[in-house]
Structure 1
């Protein structure tokens, strides 16, 4: 059975969430911070960010259990939507929508491009504004960076973040939406 008249339903089921996620990202960029999945996950992790008698054990538990739990919830949501949701032409439309939402929450292209463009544009005319903007991309202190260094930092970070924040989550989606969430959560635990 075909999903779009020219593609088999499994191909539509895989490609449609990817295309929808990219379209959502380009249209809306990041969700508001109060409902952003990474911010929500950060609030879940926050109670564990304190002194523990066995910090290594707690760190491993937080770095493994919480991302797997988040991935399980997302993967389970997609699976339930696929099992019980409506189908059109053999394509589980609710599962496609849920998977697209999961991928949208795990990928970030527009914000990355917008911030990189801001830094490059501001670097010559307003280096102080560029230093403030580049903080969204880099972890190092940009105070002593020249305009050329600011542009370089923005472009280098954009390339790295493109791989980490866009290509990898969407690539993992091919292995399952659960993989995209686990990868995003793993990056969060890496930054803790």
Structure 2
């Protein structure tokens, strides 16, 4: 029941500015911890081992903090509040819808809005590329910002959820194949892939089921394997046929155009604000399915 309440609390309040303008958000605190470890350990020799040590320290700290919060005699209220803070449904929908609103005002504003949620180059995007980027971000972040933390809360309570968020934050900061982080960030990247393996596929199943679109399942695994990530392709491959759009395709990173294959290539390749809004609606429908699953699990555990 605590997971269901956390999902509802996040959906109602999201990330209120009045609170996080006064206090550091847990994700910010985790990011500072990752940065501190990166600055002190990512040097000299044996960087891969040092990166594994950094991840072990992050996970151990997250598990200890989660256990301490869960131990407090507050009838679970603090645990529910902490879980709600670590979910990102409301903020995800707000950011995705902001791209649709900005794109309606013009492509330059759409580029600026989508740059807030994607890591690719946005300066030369046309309207369709802005829309595809927003939809892809919606699908991927539904998995790692909502379904995955909820999954790990269901499996291992708040300690598991905090540990997942710590690893996911580390991966987003040091899990890249750059000269500085190729070795040091390998443990974070591999562990993040492992922790997201089930949630990514669960997200794809959830998207199809809540939209009555199970007929598309046979093509989802094939399309998912086209993605450079072992996990991100699954929710994208499920959402693309639901919306009737093609996702992925060529895009630019660090000034280099990369010719990625299309996901659902038969779909529309020129989506716009309307398709972004439909993706936002799909996020809420998927959230409702996840809430229903949480309630069923709570009932079964009684």
Q: Same fold (TM over 0.5)?
A: yes
Which of these residues, 39, 48, 52, is aligned with residue 28 of structure 2?
Answer: 39
**Equivalence for 2:171:** 190
Count of residues paired in the alignment: 165
What is the alpha-carbon distance in structure 2 between the residues aligned to residue 151 and residue 114 of structure 1? 15
Q: CA RMSD in A?
A: 1.8
Contact 2:67/2:159 (<8 A) preserved: yes
Query: Which residue matches 2:220?
Result: none
Displacement of 1:188 in angstroms is: 0.9
- Contact (CA 8 Å) 2:58, 2:163: kept in 1 or not? no
Find the aligned partners of 2:88 and 2:63 in 1 and give their Cα distance: 18
Per the alignment, in what secondary structure is the counterpart of residue 145 of structure 1?
coil
The residue correspondences of 1:12-161 to structure 2 (distance < 5 A) are 15=1, 17-30=2-15, 32=20, 34-50=23-39, 51-54=42-45, 55-78=47-70, 80-81=71-72, 85=73, 94-161=74-141
Distance in 2, Cα, partners of 1:105 & 1:64: 23
- How far apart are 1:107 and its partner, in Å? 1.0
Which blocks of at least 5 consecutive residues in structure 2 are unaligned? 175-302
The CA deviation string for residues 141-184 of structure 1, in whole angstroms up to 9 with x for no partner, is 11111111111111111111001000111111111221111111
Contact 1:134 1:142 in 2 (8 A): yes
Segments of 4+ moved more than 6 angstroms: none
Shift of 1:36: 0.5
Cα distance in 2 between the residues matched to 1:172 and 1:148: 35
> In structure 2, what is the Cα distance between the partners aligned to 1:133 and 1:68?
36
Matches of 1:106 and 1:30, distance apart in 2: 10
Asked if structure 2 preserves the Cα contact closer than 8 Å seen for 1:120 and 1:150, the reply is no
Q: Which ranges of structure 1 fall in alignment gaps of 5 or more residues? A: 1-14, 86-93
Question: Which structure would you say has the larger RCO, counting Cα contacts within 8 Å and 6 or more residues apart?
Answer: 1
The one-character-per-residue Cα deviations of 1:104-143 (angstroms, maximum 9, x if unpaired) are: 2221011110111111222232222221221232111111
